[in-house]
Structure 1
Amino acid sequence: MATVELLFSALPEHVRTARLVAAAVARRAGVDEAVLDEVRLAVGEACTRAVSLHQSNDVTAPVKVVLIEDEKKFSIEVGDEAPHAVSGPVPGARTGEEAGSEESGAEEEDEMGLAVISGLVDDVEVSAGEVGGLIRMSWPTTPASVLP
């Protein structure tokens, strides 16, 4: 099992680099060429979401992308360290009219990004808590052909 870990500052210009690295590692892992565009798009959406969450919550920690090559599948984990909504009131969170349309717009954008990822990836898991979130995506791989 091979693993590549990528940490980058939560800046939009680094998302492109994460997409390129993910596509290169996916290709090397044996992900079908026809699926590589989906890998790039899904990683782009997940990283853009993480960058947005870090910026809107003033999180200075880097966004973390882990690329995992297993025998039969290729997985990508995109992690953020932004606080996510949990049941009950969150200390310091704005409520009601204070939050206004700015927050609902951010929530809609977040949900749209997750919907795009779900549409691109058959095997996706999203988890979130008070100290960050994780999007785990995986694709099947084809074993490299063995030359005689």
Structure 2
Amino acid sequence: MATVELRFSPLPEHVRTARLVAAAVARRAGVDESVLDEVRLAVGEACSRAVGLHQQGDPGGAVRVALIDQEKRFVIEVGDGAGTLSELARSSAEDGQDGADDTLGLAVITGLVEDVEVGRDDAGGLIRMSWPVNVA
């Protein structure tokens, strides 16, 4: 199982780089060419969401992206490290924000990716997505 890890400062201009790297690693892992645009878009949405959460909570942290080439699946994990989802939702409500951008981003991701999990790890929020790979 090979893994490529990216860490970048939570700035919108770094999201494009994460999308390009994810598509290149997905192609090398054997993800079908017809799905690469979905991979690119899903990673872009997940990273944009993580950047937004950082800008609300911890602008000094890093967005983490793990690209994992498993035997039959290609897995991408995007971690924000910006606090728990409930803490962010509560602070957004207190600030008068409705969280519509976050909800829309998650809706786009779940529309693009059949196998997606939204949760958290020790560092904060985590989105885990996976796609089948072509086994030669």
Alignment TM-score, normalising by the size of structure 2: 0.91
- Give the Cα separation in 1 of the matches to 2:44 and 2:105: 10
Contact 1:3–1:66 (CA under 8 A) maintained in structure 2:
yes
Q: Are residue 122 (structure 1) and residue 114 (structure 2) matched? A: yes
Contact 1:54–1:80 (CA under 8 A) maintained in structure 2:
yes
Instruction: Report the equivalent of 1:137.
Output: 129
Alignment of 1:45-124 (within 5 A): 45-86=45-86, 98-100=94-96, 103-104=97-98, 107-124=99-116
* Structure 2, gaps ≥5 residues long: none
- Give the Cα separation in 2 of the matches to 1:82 and 1:35: 29
Letter in 1 for 2:75: S
Secondary structure of 1:54's match? helix
Letter in 1 for 2:95: A
Letter in 2 for 1:114: L
Aligned-residue offset at 1:132: 1.3
* Structure 1, gaps ≥5 residues long: none
Aligned-residue offset at 1:9: 0.6
Aligned length: 134
Q: What is the alpha-carbon root mean square deviation over aligned residues?
A: 1.9
Cα deviation 1:27-69 (Å, max 9, x = unaligned): 0000000000000000000000000100111331110000000
- Give the Cα separation in 2 of the matches to 1:130 and 1:84: 10
- Give the Cα separation in 1 of the matches to 2:31 and 2:122: 34
Cα deviation 1:110-136 (Å, max 9, x = unaligned): 010000000000000000379510000
- Identify if the C-alpha distance between structure 1 residues 36 and 13 changes in structure 2 by more than 3 Å, giving closer, same or farther: same
Cα deviation 1:70-129 (Å, max 9, x = unaligned): 11010000001112343xxx5xx6587x522xx21xx11101000000000000000037
- Give the Cα separation in 1 of the matches to 2:85 and 2:20: 31
Contact 2:6–2:66 (CA under 8 A) maintained in structure 1:
yes
Give identity over the alignment, percent.
66
The structure 1 segments of at least 4 consecutive aligned residues displaced by more than 2 Å after TM superposition are 93-96, 128-131
- Identify if the C-alpha distance between structure 1 residues 131 and 142 changes in structure 2 by more than 3 Å, giving closer, same or farther: closer
